[in-house]
Chains A and B, each alone.
Chain A
Amino acid sequence: MPDIETHKITQKIDPKTVPAATDQLNSGTTLANRYLIQNVIGVGGMGAVYRARDLHFPNVVKLVAVKEMINQVRDELVRSTIVRNFEREANLLATLDHPAIPRIYDYFTHNDRSYLILEFINGKDLEAVLNESNTFLPEERVVQWGIELCDVLSYLHNHQPEPIIFRDMKPSNVMINQHGHVVLIDFGIAKHFQGTQRGTMIGTEGYSPPEQYRGEAGHLADIYALGATMHHLLTHRDPRLEPPFSFAERPIRDTNTAVSQETIAIIERSLQYEPGDRYKTAEEMKDVLLHAARDTGILTKIALTKAVSRVEGEAIKPVWEFSCEDEIRGTPTYDDGIIYIGSYDNNLYALNAATGEFLWKYPTEEGIVSKPLVYENNVFFGSEDKRLHVITARFGRLNWMYYADGPIRSSPQIAEGHILIGSDDAHLHAVNTISGRRAWRADVGAMIRSTPAVHTDLIYVGTENGDFYCMDFRSTIKWRFKAKRAITSSPIIHQGVVYFGSVDSTLYALDSRTGWVIWRYRLSKPTITTPCITGDYIFTGSIDGLIHCVDLRSAKEVWTFNTENQVTGSPIIYKDSIYCGSVDGNLYCLEYRTGRLRWKFGTQGAITGNPIAVDDLVYIGSTDHRLYALLA
């Protein structure tokens, strides 16, 4: 790593991070009676970089870059090392002459501050270019920059009397000037790796080859770092956030299918673990890049066709399907060989799970969107007719009804002989399973469309105004959390953590005992689906059309899968697959570890409910009025 932190000069300016003691020069300040500071163009750990005007040229505007190093270190040894490094960078630059290397005009020290006066490069560095682009950088530009970087590396490696190893090739050290050409910046890193020291030491990260950790970095280290830089530019995957030497695990084609095989082969060779397996010189790599560019004609751009998915066209046939009179938006329930499903034709249906044979139906006054619950030979479910219906599981005969003051879209939950269910009447209701009498109802101030969860002795439920409640069985609130928008997603509890999504586009993880937020995972769009968990993975769908897999310990994305419309139904895990419907009409079956598509099944309408899976069959309802049973 650099002894001097000049590699940070191209970072984004964030005034809050600059301590008062290292106050920047104000615009209008004149340095050495010559350099009129105009503004800050970068901030690093040890000072700023400014754009300044050289007043020795009164009749023309000659701009220079002023690189400042503020030496606040009190320790004398550290202090002098920093000054020495600064002077080393100045002296090195003074001996170099190449269009891709900034010229140095002057350097001087003033009190605690040292300054380098450099050629002003009107442009931006590649890290900024990467940050500002939402799509992949065109291959031809990356190859062009690669060729130019080979050229300047070749100049440095052939420097007399001593070759110069740049040692720190990475996007933030490459400027692209106003003409689109590369300029290498930051030569403050003639690093000596202290390989013989005992104790804990630092190597380097991200772009550097294995041998640099051993302090053996020769010119082949620069070749590797150039390959790493090109890999980053083409994939948008920052190697500093990945384990070292893991490029082979992240093939370029996996993220960016538009890159030609020729270019990929060159980058892969430059990234070989053994230095001897890479290109021998920067010139050789430059020649190969030029050759490939000619062969592939990438300068005139070629479009690569997308690999066709293997499952495309393979029709999945349902084991059975059942048609009703209106849309199915809810979720089926399985119990003892029978599937129960509500429909917007106002009926609850009971079907033979193996054959789809109709057994009975029970009419309500309005649509049924929730998932029924079977408990002690009774089916419990709410309807938009404001009632909780309790009917016999065998014949569908009414046992009792409970009236809420608003439509019921929440699914029932059972705890200690009581049904817990939310309603649009802004209450959570606790109803005795046998008598049908209300034990209590809790006013939560807004509609409940999620399904309450019960864990140990506590109840968890979210509301449509974004409140999330944890209450005991007496309905005493233990803690409350407020999301910024509705919580339609139902909570799940796993290892002391309660997880739910919100329309505020966040997946939350809260400590189930205290409500402290453990992590928040940002989605690009709202979510109303109920997450599911297996192992260390949590899965959720979002209006952004994606099925997300997130590591529940680190809150980092593992994979996403793109459907063609909103995902409002919830995913489920069955064996080693995840099943999830989409408003695009498909039920997707994905390998849960990788998000790879196993198969998809198209229905004729949007899927908004959740699948269930039992005995190797997956059941899913669709707004095409049908319930399907598919082989899992």
Chain B
Amino acid sequence: MKGFFQKILGQDKPTRQEDNSKPADQDFIDTMGVIHYSELQPAQLLASCGQSVGMQREHNEDALFSLTTTLTSDHTNLPFGLYIVADGMGGHQHGEIASGIAIRSMASYIVSRLMLPMLSANPHTPEESLQEIMQAGVQEAHKAITNQVPGGGTTLTAALILGEQMILAHVGDSRAYAIDLDGNAQILTRDHSLVKRLEELGQISHEEAANHPQRNVLYRALGQGEPFDPDIKNMQLPENGHILLCSDGLWGVVEEDELIQMILNSPTPDQACKSMVDAANAAGGPDNITAVLIRLPG
């Protein structure tokens, strides 16, 4: 950067930017012939997903959406991704219908408001803020459920990635995690569950919460209640890290540390997704399992 500036201001000789580049065949390709992801240009997202009905349930009430692309804007390539996990309410009226409706209406809203304008003949960014669009997308999904399956409900955790920023929209007890290069994991969402609330109030311990008979009871869900207020927040993405979205069929069954190890030790996100889903099933698979894993560029 310094060299660049000096070059412009005519103070110094231009420096060659490629000074430290190495022969492509050494660093670029590893022994298995797989391209080192961090070397991939342009910087891009790599996402995969995994799902299973589990070992004890007959229906899959989870739903997922995964869209990864690169938008061209003003001569730069902008990584763009939209990922959604929804877990329909079992026993409630038609959980699988509600989660599917939620995913579709949210995704179509975000794509039409955010992505299509960027692909139009005259690319433009939206008037509204990204948080406002995510908020409106959740409200669309909420309205669609209210209209199409009255009484139905679902969780919804959605991540919109644009360049180095991520906007999260969240309702219920599906989760989003950020995992950095060193394997430090951070839960980005707050469970809207009764048990989590009791834990926050100090009424029960973390261990009791994990085995509580009411651990599936939510106090906030899509399609349920007015006014409806999803958690919306943004964050800068960890370089070379991962984002994991998952339903409680994964995080409630497999220990967090194990999940992180699987993510860090798998060469690609699809293998990590398979390992995580397999682990949940190996642990009994009591609930539907859904995972979306995004590998972030450096």
Contact = CB atoms under 8 A, between A and B. Distances in A.
Interface in B216-238: 216-221, 224-227, 229, 231-236
Contacts of A206: 225
Interface in B89-106: 89-95, 97
A4 B217 contact: no
B298 to A, nearest CB: 14
B214 interface: yes
Contacts of B9: 416-418, 432, 439, 473
Given A199-B89, A519-B130, A511 B164 contact: yes
A82 B152 CA distance: 12
Given A73-B149, A194-B92, A200-B248, A243 B197 contact: yes
Contacts of A496: 164-165, 236
A78 B153 contact: no
B130 A518 contact: yes
B88 interface: yes
Interface stretch (B14-22, B24-32, B140-148, B270-278): B140-148
Contact of A553 (B229, B235, B287): B235
A362 interface: no
B155 A200 contact: yes
Contacts of A516: 125, 130, 162-163, 165
Interface string A10-32: 01000001010010000000000
A436 interface: no
Contact of A197 (B90, B148, B151, B153): B90
A1 B151 contact: yes
B78 A5 contact: no
Given A200-B90, A200-B155, A554 B194 contact: no
A194 B130 contact: no
B132 to A, nearest CB: 7
A628 to B, nearest CB: 38
A262 interface: no
Contacts of B2: 416
B146 A45 contact: yes
B131, B132, B162: most-surrounded residue (chain A CB, <10 A):
B131
A96 interface: no
Interface in B279-298: 287
Contact of A456 (B1, B89, B167, B226): B1
Contacts of B207: none
A417 B129 contact: no
Contact of B150 (A4, A240, A439, A495): A4
Contact of A513 (B61, B130, B163, B221): B163
Given A201-B91, A202-B92, A516-B130, A1 B224 contact: yes
B148 A73 contact: yes
A19 B146 CA distance: 12
A246 to B, nearest CB: 8
B163 A3 contact: no
A244 interface: yes
Q: Bin the interface of chain B by size.
A: 35 or more
A205 B164 contact: no
A81 interface: yes
Contacts of A392: none
Contacts of B126: 517
A202 B89 contact: yes
Contacts of A22: 147
B214 A213 contact: yes
Contact of B93 (A3, A19, A513, A553): A3
B146 A514 contact: no
A204 B153 CA distance: 12
Interface string A473-490: 110001100000000000
B151 A5 contact: yes
B147 A45 contact: yes
Interface residues of A, number: 69
B172 A243 contact: no
Given A73-B149, A457-B4, A518-B234, A199 B90 contact: yes
Nearest to A5: B150
B45 to A, nearest CB: 15
B57 interface: yes
A438 to B, nearest CB: 11
Interface in A571-625: none
B201 interface: yes
A519 B165 CA distance: 12
A443 B93 CA distance: 62
B5 A213 contact: no
A205 B227 CA distance: 10
Contacts of A11: 226
A623 B163 CA distance: 45
Contacts of A81: 93, 151
A240 B225 contact: yes
A78 B94 contact: yes
A214 B203 CA distance: 15
Contacts of A495: 235-236
A198 B91 contact: yes
Given A82-B150, A240-B229, A244-B219, A553 B234 contact: yes
Contacts of B5: 415-416, 457, 473
A519 B197 contact: no
A78 B149 contact: yes
A78 B96 CA distance: 13
B227 A240 contact: yes
Contacts of A439: 8-9
A17 B88 CA distance: 24
B294 to A, nearest CB: 17
B186 to A, nearest CB: 12
A434 to B, nearest CB: 10
A75 interface: yes
A562 to B, nearest CB: 26
A198 B162 contact: no
Given A1-B153, A1-B224, A243 B200 contact: yes
Interface of A: 1-5, 7-8, 11, 17, 19, 22, 45-46, 72-73, 75, 78, 81-82, 172, 194, 197-206, 210, 213-214, 238, 240-241, 243-245, 415-418, 432, 439, 456-457, 473-474, 478-479, 495-497, 509, 511, 513-520, 551, 553-555
11 contacts: A8-B226, A78-B151, A82-B150, A200-B221, A202-B89, A204-B225, A416-B6, A497-B236, A509-B234, A516-B165, A555-B232
Q: Closest 8 A-B residue pairs measured CB to CB? A: A199-B90, A197-B91, A553-B233, A45-B146, A517-B129, A495-B236, A519-B131, A496-B236
Given A203-B194, A513-B163, 10 more contacts: A1-B224, A4-B151, A75-B149, A203-B219, A240-B226, A495-B236, A496-B164, A497-B234, A516-B165, A554-B231
